[in-house]
Amino acid sequence: MATFAGAMIRKLFFTVVLFCAAAGAVAQSQFGEKPRLVVGVVVDQMRWDYLSRYYDRFAPDGGLRRLIDQGFSCNNCLINYVPTTTAIGHTSAYTGSTPALHGICGNNFFVDGHKVYCTRDDSVQPVGANDDKGRMSPRLLLATTIGDQLRLHTDFRSRVIGISYKDRAAILPAGHSANAAYWLSLKQPVQFITSTYYMAELPQWVKQYNRLLAGNASVQAAGSDIGLRAECGTVITDMAIATLEGEQLGKGDDTDMLCVSYSQTDVIGHRWGTRGEHTDEAYLQLDRDLGRLLSALDSHVGEGNYLLFLTADHGAAHNWAYMQEHNLSAGPWSSSQMKQWIGQELAAAYGDDGEYIADVIDYRIFLDWQKIRERGRNGSELMHRVLDLVRQREGVTFAAIFSELSTTAMPPQMRDRAIMGYHPGRSGDIIFFPRPGFYEHGSWSSPTGTTHGEWNPYDTHIPCLFYGWKVAHGATSREVHITDIAPTVCQLLHIQQPNACVGEAITEITH
C-alpha cells in the first residue's frame, strides 16, 4: 500500500511539474507576442452616454458600432481628478497619472508665479508655416507617456506620432521622445505644422498632404472656423491615414504608436452644446471617419494586428438654459464677477486696490504672492479671508485651501479629486465647487453652448473602449479610471508603466 501511495505521489508530482513547465512555456510565448501598432483615440468632450444616444444611428459597418459590438467597453470609466480639461485629460490617459504628478494642471496654469499655456515653448520655432502656434513642445510635462515607455523599451526604435486639430492634443499624448506631433495651423492656407522640438523640416509626405489640403476648397473656406465643422474630423482622419502610409507605421520589427485626437466635437460643443443638429452631425460623421480609419488599419497592418483604445478627455454639462427650460437645476457661473467682488471686499478691508488675486482658472484661485509680499500682508490671513468670501458667494457649495483639503469637511468624491488634481506651485491656492449644473459662462461657452471642468458625472463619466489585438468582446460596469488606460496598454505590451503612473491595469482586458 505504501509503495502504491508513493508511486501515486511521484506521478502527481511529475504531472504538476510538467503542467508548470507547460504554463511557463505559454507565459514565455505570451511575452514574445506583440501588436504591430497601438492606436490611441481621444474624442474631445465626448460624454459616455453618447455611445447609447447615437448607437442606433451609427452605421452598422462604421467605427463606433464596430468598437462597441466587437471590442471591450468599460461602462463606468471615471475621471478621478479636477479640473476636467483638455490638456489634463489627454495627459492623464497617456501617463496613467494626474496633475498632482504629471504637472499639466490645465490648459493654462501658473509656474513660478507666471501664467503659462500648457505646451507653450518660446525656445522652439514653428515648422511648416510662419505661425506662432508652432512654438510648442511637451517641456512642461513632468512624466512619461505610453509612447515614451514604448520607445525606451525598444531602445527608441519604435515610432510614436501624435495628430490633432489642437496642439496640446497632439503633443501631450505623444510625450517627450515622440518622433513627431502635428497640429493644424488655422492661418491661410489651413495646414499641419510642428515645431523644431521634433524636426527642422516637414517630411515630404506631410508637405504632400498639405498641398492636398490647400486644394480642399471647403476646408480653406472654413479657415479658422474649421473646428466648428464636422469636416474637421475628416481632415484629422485623412492625416492619420497619411501618417500610417508616410511613416509605414506597424511595418517594422517593433511596435509603433499613433495618437489621434478629434477636437471638433469640443469646439462644436462649446458653441452649440450637447444637443442639436450640429452635435448630432459631429458624432455621426465621427462614426464614419473612425470606420475609414479602422478600414485603413485593417489594410495597412492587418485586422487583429493592432491594439486600439478610444476614450475622452472630459465630458460636458447640458446647456444651463436648456436645463432650466425643463425645470432642471442649472445656471451660469462667472469667475470674473466673483474676482471683482472679492477685490472690492479686500479693498475695503485693507484700504488699497484690493487686487490680490492673479487669476481664477477652472474654479481655482491663484493669489498674487508677489504683491502680497511687496505690500507686507500676512499671506495666511489674507488667504483665509478670501476663502471666507468665496464660501459666502451664492452658488458655491464647498471651498477649501488646497493645503487644508485633508481636514476640510466635504464629500470625499470632491476632496479626493481635488487632491489628485493639485500640484504645488501650479494649481493655485483655493479651490471651489459650484452647485451641480452651474458652470463657467462666457469664456469657454456661448449662450447656446456648454463647457466642462468640474467633478460631476456629466464632466467625468467618459467612454473607454478597447479593440483589436488580444481584446475579447465584452463589457464591465466595474468602476475604472482614465488613469487605468495607460497601465492596461503597457501590460498588454509587456512594457513598464509610465514613471508617474498611479492607475491599475484593467484585468478584464489584460486577463
Per-residue confidence (pLDDT) for residue 382, from 0 to 100: 98
Q: How far apart are CA 97 and CA 145, in angstroms?
A: 9
Residue with cell 506521478: 11
44 three-class SS: coil
* Angle, helices 335-350/379-392, rounded to nearest 10 degrees: 130
Tell the residue number behind the cell numbers 519604435, with chain if given: 158
How far is it, in rounded angstroms, from Cα 121 to Cα 148? 20
46-103: per-residue pLDDT in tens?
Answer: 999 999 999 999 999 889 999 999 999 999 999 999 999 999 999 999 999 999 999 9
pLDDT tens-digit profile, the chain (511 residues): 444 344 434 444 444 333 443 333 333 337 779 999 999 999 999 999 999 999 999 999 889 999 999 999 999 999 999 999 999 999 999 999 999 999 999 999 999 999 999 999 999 999 999 999 999 999 999 999 999 999 999 999 999 999 999 999 999 999 999 999 999 999 999 999 999 999 999 999 999 999 999 999 999 999 999 999 999 999 999 999 999 999 999 999 999 999 999 999 999 999 999 999 999 999 999 999 999 999 999 999 999 999 999 999 999 999 999 999 999 999 999 999 999 999 999 999 999 999 999 999 999 999 999 999 999 999 999 999 999 999 999 999 999 999 999 999 999 999 999 999 999 999 999 999 999 999 998 766 678 999 999 999 999 999 999 999 999 999 999 999 999 999 999 999 999 999 999 999 999 999 8
CA distance 14 to 24: 15
Are 311 and 485 spatial neighbours (Cβ–Cβ below 8 Å)?
yes
**Catalytically active residues, by annotation:** 86
Strand stretches in 219-324, DSSP E: 256-262, 306-311
